[in-house]
Amino acid sequence: MNISPYAGKPAEQSMLVNIPKLISAYYTEIPDPFINEQKVAFGTSGHRGCSLKNSFNEWHILAISQAICLYRKQQNTNGPLFIGIDTHALSLPAYATALEVFAANEVILMIDENDFTPTPSISHAILTYNKNRKDGFADGIVITPSHNPPTDGGFKYNPPNGGPASGEVTKWIEAKANEFLINKLNGVKRIAYKKALHAPTTHRFDYMNNYVNDLSNVINMDIIRDSKISIGVDPLGGAGIYYWEPIAERYNLNLTLVNKTIDADFRFMPVDWDGQIRMDPSSAYAMKNLLALKDKFDISMACDTDYDRHGIVTKSEGLLPPNHYLSTMIFYLFQHRPQWPSKAMVGKTVVSSNMIDRITKKAGRNLYEVPVGFKWFSSGLLDGSIGFCGEESAGASFLRMNGEVWTTDKDGMIAALLAAEITAKIKKDPGEIYKELSNELGQSFYDRTEAKASPEQKALLGKLSPEQVKQTELAGEKITSVITKAPGNHAEIGGLKVSTENGWFAARPSGTEDIYKIYAESFSGAEHLKQIQEQAQSLVDEALKQK
């Protein structure tokens, strides 16, 4: 992975997106549905793209929105549609377009009283509405490209289970939307935006207070308040920026926002590893501003742009790698949530640390291992069979205190606030706790490398097969398994994972960007990890040579 010389530094003027040009392209450029890069394409979580590349334009949103209307009718989902946006520049134009279509189709819309809506508060609203309901179920739309660069837009559908839509659902919506594109939007219903805003089916909804007032049922806010620990928060200019001060006021927390800036070009963000501006709270480059303040607070935290991912900064260790914090959360929660079901499992993705396996075993719980994508956890969170689940990319959610569902989508806010609860309760920060766990269970050496990949190369990597692994050893150890399906639910992982007793690697294309990723871990040391990575890269290089 080649680190940009600008990584961790303020963005140069030339790196900033031209917002007027970006929005103009959204409205004026027309995608060609016969070019793959310009089609509607749902990745691990919704359709994402850039208006300047003709991959996220008004036509896409018109087509997707009408397709969702048809899907809702087919499924008899006739309750309200909860909809919200993040702070990316393309989110508001997409929101206006979507409202025009949904209102024209007489969909009951629940729009935010405020400007922005975090992903978890939409999932929370859907589940709260649907609880104990027999029919008339609600669903939702999240307009966000997550932590992607400022040039990008994203559009995600959450069905009545409150979480990201399954592949079966998104394939149907994707196919129908592309039909609309091919037919030049014939069949798409639409009314003027102003008329849509004031339609009898359009209602204002207080997402923030419904979410904030319920937090004490998932986080022990009393312990945080009584401890008086100091909490630093960098909102990273994201959708939850207006939530933190009401949380502090409602629960009387010693909490400080270190940056209140909102700017669609995100010029206040340090540049990420590759020279891109990216609101990734798991990146030490993107989190450099908060890291500089780590000694000022007992615990510090951040979330990405739509608030479904978390970043935890401790005095003891600085920015915690996501796997370290996921492990610490599991260790803590299964000791301090006595009302959780005794058989509630731990959910992880195939590319998350094996430290999670060891801590799960220590906790006496079963592991549920799935492909990358939070959609695989939604049903388990909904029925309480999963107590906690997380992804190595810093997304997680967990049950309420009483063992009932909180959200079925990732929730960066509760993950962040749990770090404050842990610090207040244990009198140690999560970094100190993880260090003790690694002393007991073994030290993990984990790394994820990324490199650019064309859509064609990504397709090749997604089709890697066990037969392509000819060797019987990996970094001097006998290979114990080569899988392309996840052990927990036997779903395709969209890549390949090779394991030994003390290490493993997985290679897969990104579902959201034109890059591929190699994940690797060793419990035998940094040199062993390096050997694993080198062999993994050789396999990927061979795969990319295929025609």
> Does the pLDDT at position 509 exceed 90?
no
- For 268-294, the pLDDT digits (tens) are 999 999 999 999 999 999 999 999 999
CA distance 184 to 374: 33
- Rounded Cα distance between 135 and 78, Å, is 8
Backbone angles phi, psi at 424, to 5 degrees: -70, -40
Q: Half-sphere exposure (CA, 13 Å, Cβ side) for 168? A: 3
Concerning whether 444 is annotated as a catalytic residue, the answer is: no
Give percent above pLDDT 90 in the chain. 90
Strand arrangement, sheet containing 231-234: 255-257, 231-234, 299-303, 310-314, 318-319
Residue 305 DSSP code? T
14-210, what's its fold?
Alpha-D-Glucose-1,6-Bisphosphate; Chain A, domain 3 (3.40.120)
pLDDT of residue 186: 98
Tell whether the model's pLDDT for residue 340 goes beyond 70: yes
Taking only the tens place, the pLDDT of each residue in 384-420 is 999 999 999 999 999 999 999 999 999 999 999 999 9
> Which of 316, 292, 286 shows the shortest CA–CA distance to 438?
316
For residue 547, pLDDT over 60 is answered with: no
pLDDT of residue 465: 85
Residues 6 or more apart whose Cβ sits within 8 Å of residue 145:
48, 86, 88, 90, 152, 153, 154, 305, 512
Angle between helical axes of 526-544 and 455-462 (0-180°, round to 10) = 110
List the CATH code of the domain at 445-544: 3.30.310.50
pLDDT at residue 260 greater than cutoff 80: yes
Residue 248 has pLDDT above 70, yes or no: yes
**Side-chain-facing half-sphere of 158: CA atoms under 13 Å:** 33
Higher pLDDT, 454 or 150: 150
Q: Is 104 helix (H, G, I), strand (E, B) or coil?
A: helix
Task: Give the per-residue pLDDT at 193.
Answer: 98
pLDDT digits (tens, 9 = 90+) for 441-478: 999 999 988 878 888 888 888 888 888 888 899 999 99
Long-range interactions of 13-19: CB distance < 8 A, separation 24+ = 15/271, 15/275, 15/277, 16/150, 16/265, 16/267, 16/277, 17/89, 17/149, 17/150, 17/151, 17/264, 17/265, 19/89, 19/264, 19/265
Candidate list 65, 146, 522, 524, residue with the active-site label: 146
- Give me 322's structure tokens: 């996501």
Q: Looking up tokens 């036509």, which residue turns up?
A: 59
End-to-end CA distance of the chain: 24
In sequence order, the β-bridge partners of residue 44 are: none
Look at residue 209 in the predicted model and tell me its pLDDT: 98
Residue 196 has pLDDT above 80, yes or no: yes
Give the pLDDT mean for 418-426. 98
What pLDDT is stored for residue 512 in this prediction? 64
pLDDT > 70? residue 537: yes
What residue segments make up the domains of the chain, in order of their start?
Answer: 14-210, 445-544
Going by pLDDT thresholds of 50, 70 and 90, the confidence category of residue 514 is: confident
DSSP calls for 436-482? HHHHHH---EEEEEEEE--HHHHHHHHT--GGG---SEETTEE--EE
**pLDDT tens per residue, range 48-88:** 999 999 999 999 999 999 999 999 999 999 999 999 999 99
pTM comes to 0.95
Average pLDDT, the chain: 96
21-35: per-residue pLDDT in tens? Answer: 999 999 999 999 999
How do strand 46-50 and strand 395-398 relate by DSSP bridges? unpaired
Residue 1: its pLDDT value, please? 66
